[in-house]
Amino acid sequence: MAELRSNLSAPLLRGLESLLPVSVLLTVLYPIAFVRAVIHQLYKRPNPLQLPPIMDSRPPRARLLRLSMYLNRMFEFIPDRMNSPKWRARCRYVGFEPVLEALAAGTPVIFTFPHFGPYSLMRRWLCAKGIRAVMITGRDIFSPSPLDQRKNEWASAAGIPPAFHLDQLSDVVREFKKGNPLTMAFDARHNREVTIPLPDGSGYRVATGAIRLAKKYGARLFPCVLYNTGPWRFTFEMAPAVPTDALEQDDQIAAQDIVSKLLPIFMQHPDQWNTEMLDQFVPSSTTVTS
């Protein structure tokens, strides 16, 4: 039934998107997303995410945990239209100049990110900026449904490379060597890790896969985050690249550089935290270097 509903909604959403200004489309779809989020909250009764102690002085997470997620699903149906002026105006790109300079110079580029905010939209917003980035995902390979196949077709029409899985690293390297940047999470639990001490005495585990790939291929490694600043309002923030001397030293130093650059953003936007990211925190009594 859910698949039938999605198949029926896809042409309707794409039709409405082509006809309506963004503000009117949001007025139409926001109540639907709100009701779905309320129903999920009432019937599923999800446990509220417990932010780590370092965030104790920050505001609590928003109560309707899925409201932004339901709204953001709209972009799964229009990846081929996100580079239009009306959608580009909804995303603010910060700190992208060094990335564009590196790409123009032919320097390999790797983006590393946490599971923070609507991270699944990163490839779409990068492509809207003119950057075709390959993503490694830790999800198991599955047979896509007809709707998923259509979504992939729309993404392909927009020039968005597919997401690859961990057992497809040869395909990833092939795309990377073509000059396409690589996008890889640093808080996934499928890789070698180091634990970075935080100011409150706790720790944060960082997977070192992106760091090791940057060393191997001489790539610039850019920590980045994508987060909502309102309904269908986004900021895509690119931190300065990890210094070359930090990459050449121990992985711990490079990981510390990544976390120190993004921690202020995490602190400013507690409503954007996700479960996968929270799982990487280590209590102060058990903080050790892996």
pLDDT at 177 over 50: yes
State how far the alpha carbon of 172 is from the alpha carbons of 10, 181, 185, 210, in Å: 30, 10, 14, 13
CA distance 39 to 43: 6
In the chain, what are the helix, strand and coil shares in percent, each to the nearest 5? 50, 20, 35
pLDDT at 255 over 90: yes
Tell me the angle at which helices 2-19 and 22-43 cross, rounded to the nearest 10 degrees.
Answer: 160
pLDDT digits (tens, 9 = 90+) for 187-238: 876 668 898 888 888 888 999 989 999 999 999 999 999 999 999 999 999 9
Q: What is the predicted pLDDT for the residue at 245?
A: 92
Kindly give, in sequence order, each residue whose CB lies less than 8 Å from that of residue 149, ignoring residues fewer than 6 positions away. none
Sign of the C-alpha dihedral computed for residues 98, 102, 103 and 109 taken in this order: negative
Q: In the structure encoding, which two tokens stand for residue 95, read together?
A: 């700190």
- Average pLDDT, stretch 233-255? 94
Q: Regarding predicted confidence, which is higher, 180 or 284?
A: 180
CA distance 52 to 199: 12
CA distance 59 to 42: 22
Reported as a pLDDT band with limits 50, 70 and 90, residue 288 is very low
Decide if 121 contacts 226 (C-beta within 8 A): yes
Strand duo 220-230 + 233-238: pairing: antiparallel
Q: 159: helix, coil or strand?
A: coil
- Average pLDDT, stretch 120-124? 92
Most confident of 146-155, 156-165, 249-258, 264-273: 249-258
Q: 247, 236, 221: which is closest to 98 by C-alpha? A: 221
pLDDT digits (tens, 9 = 90+) for 134-169: 888 765 555 556 666 677 677 777 777 777 777 777
Radius of gyration in angstroms for the set of CA atoms belonging to the chain, rounded to a whole number: 19
- Average pLDDT, stretch 267-274? 86
pLDDT at 1 over 50: no
Which residue is it, tokens 């060393």? 215
Q: 260: helix, coil or strand?
A: helix
pLDDT at 258 over 90: yes
Quick one: which H or E segment has residue 222?
strand 220-230
Reported as a pLDDT band with limits 50, 70 and 90, residue 64 is low
- Average pLDDT, stretch 77-90? 92
Would you list the domain boundaries of the chain? 2-286
pLDDT at 5 over 60: no
Decide if 40 contacts 49 (C-beta within 8 A): no
Cross-strand pairs, 109: 220
Contacts 24+ apart (CB under 8 A), 128-132: 128/82, 128/83, 128/87, 128/88, 128/91, 129/93, 129/96, 129/236, 130/83, 131/99, 131/103, 131/181, 132/159, 132/160, 132/161, 132/180, 132/181
pLDDT at 253 over 80: yes
Q: What is the predicted pLDDT for the residue at 111?
A: 97
